[in-house]
Amino acid sequence: MHIHILGICGTFMGSLAVLARQLGHQVTGSDTGVYPPMSTQLESQGIALMDGYDPDHLTPAPDLVLIGNAMSRGNPEVETVLNRNIDYMSGPEWLAREVLRKRWVLAVAGTHGKTTTTSMLLWILDQAGFDPGYLVGGVPRDFPVSARLGTSDFFVIEADEYDSAFFDKRSKFVHYRPHTLVLNNLEFDHADIFDNVEAIERQFHHLVRTVPANGLIVRPGRDEHLDRALAMGCWSPCQLTVIGGEAEQADWRAELLADDGSEFLVLHREQPVATVRWDHTGLHNVRNGLAAIAAARHVGVTPDHAVAALCRFSGVRRRMELLADIAGVKVYDDFAHHPTAIATTLAGLRSRVGDQPVIALIEPRSNTMQQGVHRGTLLASAGAADRVVWANPNNLHWLADQLAMPGQVNQNQLATSVDQVIELALTELPQPCHIVVMSNGGFGGIHARLIAALEARFG
């Protein structure tokens, strides 16, 4: 079968392309503005990429078109599919029908940490010899591609609350029907499709409705929005994860042995299991790891084996990924694009590097960010950095207004271009220091350009 994918370089649709190729289908796809790592992954899999959305890409007509949720009416290829009556469906629907059916699905949902927690859970099962199938919304360092079919009954998936397609406004994850469900957290995001946090809570409730009574839900303590989603109805056992003394009653607890989260003791029902010692930092990663251990136990991986696997976990690309170390100036790439994620990521780095200077280069790129939904908390979220350069190429007036307000906790600067971001970052640059590039997009190729500028200065 010839399957053509619209929006193929998105992390989800690109992963579907890999699975379809492994199933033996001919796979092609269209997209614009592509950038690594997804573009290079698809090329390495022998999947033909077509630039733009030209109706000629659909001649001769494919057997099926999978339409990504970034596509809308008016897109030339979408209109051609409809006018020519070419068979089409959403990516999540195809995945549920062709891959997930009859498998034990382990799904990871939440506003933050989905990709990392999914990768941790996948790694634990892989190291236990399960050979699970998987789909991750990124590229795990421990695996060559972002998706595979696997040979076992188990399938690990990052479960996104974003909508499925322009013709299916349900969240992607309601298609997956997990037997094991991790709920990392719940906050307001995706303001382009959700009016308020209550709308997101309702979608999470719809997901909870699909978990069987003999399944399992793993969730953290102290999350009021998850509390409200589950209060709408829950028919499955729930296990609670906490750090330290967050709650008196918990199934899983992490006791920090290092303030930066690089070492912690895992307790199951207050009985010590084993100690995680790894290269990752931040309380968010401790939470992610604890949830992965709990979910893995549900399919038979003992906690001590899970902990041993996590100690060897390499991480995910674009999650505090160290790109370069030039004359003591370390450059990191991070996907954080929500105030909570920015704050926890920078706090984790601060705990590790102590008083060494931290410079954050942040692009408020997501639809929610662009609309200024988080304007009240955004600048404070970068408080752990000594200096922050905010990219503002679209002239967001609310961002300029926020930066003009007195009493900021760090030195904030505004840049209207990538060149200016780099120029400001390199002004009076201390050595050693840590530069964190934060965006959920390509950020105008800033990573390579920044590294080249550093090499020119110090090389």
The average confidence (pLDDT) of the chain is: 89
Asked whether residue 305 falls in the same domain as residue 370, the answer is no
> What is the tens place of the pLDDT at every residue in 174-198?
999 999 999 998 987 766 777 888 9
Q: Of the candidates 253, 215, 263, 265, which has an alpha carbon nearest to the alpha carbon of residue 235?
A: 215
User: Residue 65 maps to which CATH number?
Assistant: 3.40.50.720
**Rounded to an integer, what distance in angstroms lies between the CA atom of residue 393 and that of residue 359?**
19
Residues 185 and 248 in one domain: yes
Range of the domain at 59: 2-90
Name the range with the highest mean pLDDT among 104-108, 283-287, 433-437: 104-108
54-90 pLDDT, tens digit per residue, is: 999 999 999 999 999 999 999 999 999 999 999 999 9
Whether 217 and 351 share a structural domain = no
Q: Domain end: 282, 310, 338, which one?
A: 310
316 domain-assigned: no
The verdict on 59 and 167 lying in the same domain is no
* pLDDT tens-digit series, residues 200-256: 999 999 999 999 999 999 999 889 999 999 999 999 999 999 998 766 679 999 999
Is the pLDDT at 373 greater than 70? The verdict is no
Q: Three-state secondary structure along 313-358?
A: CCCECCCCEEEEEECCEEEEEECCCCHHHHHHHHHHHHHHHCCCCE
CA angle 414, 436, 459 (to 5 degrees): 100
Asked whether residue 368 carries a pLDDT value surpassing 80, the answer given is no
Q: What is the pTM of this model?
A: 0.82
Domain count, the chain: 3
Domain CATH number, residue 261: 3.40.1190.10
Instruction: Average the pLDDT over 128-143 and give the result.
Output: 89
Spatial CB neighbours of 374, under 8 Å, sequence gap ≥ 6: 338, 339, 368, 381
The band of 314, judged by pLDDT with boundaries at 50, 70 and 90, is: confident
Q: Are 243 and 211 in contact (CB under 8 A)?
A: no
